[in-house]
Amino acid sequence: MDAENSYGWCAVDDTDNIVGYSLLKVEGKEGFFELTVVHQDFRGNGIGTALFEERIKLSKSLNLSVLTLNHWFKMSSKEPFCAIKYGFSLSEVKLNFWLNQSLEYGYNCMECKKIPCSCKCLVYKMNLRING
């Protein structure tokens, strides 16, 4: 990934410890919401939402046309609530998305607990262009 087209945000606590992190990757006029992570002790305080909003704000200022978010379906988190709240819509379901990578690298998925991974990826998109 080209660092020129990647943006990151950190949330810190009162002692400057990182408690949240978020990434945006840009390819042409499309933005890809990469990960958002908030330390478990700080969840529920609006940190993830603030990081999410910062990515949308930058995407609009960069005049991107579409945003894409990949959500790993989990029984505990069936839809990305923040994405739905801000207008993302489900556009595609990719079954066994990490199958080849899990076989190649031999990792045991933290969600499905399998090798090969059988998780599905739900692809959400948001159009930033209001009138074409």
CATH number at residue 52: 3.40.630.30
* Top mean-pLDDT range of 1-10, 26-35, 109-118: 26-35
The pLDDT tens digits for 85-106 are 999 999 999 988 888 888 888 8
Q: For residue 132, tell me if it sits in a domain.
A: no
β partners of residue 94: 121
pLDDT at 132 over 50: no
Global pTM value: 0.81
The pLDDT tens digits for 33-47 are 988 899 999 999 999
Range of the domain at 43: 3-127
Q: Which DSSP string do the residues of 22-68 spell out, in sequence order? A: EEEEEETTEEEEEEEEE-GGGTTSSHHHHHHHHHHHHHHHTT-SEEE
Mean pLDDT (the chain, rounded): 88
Domain count, the chain: 1
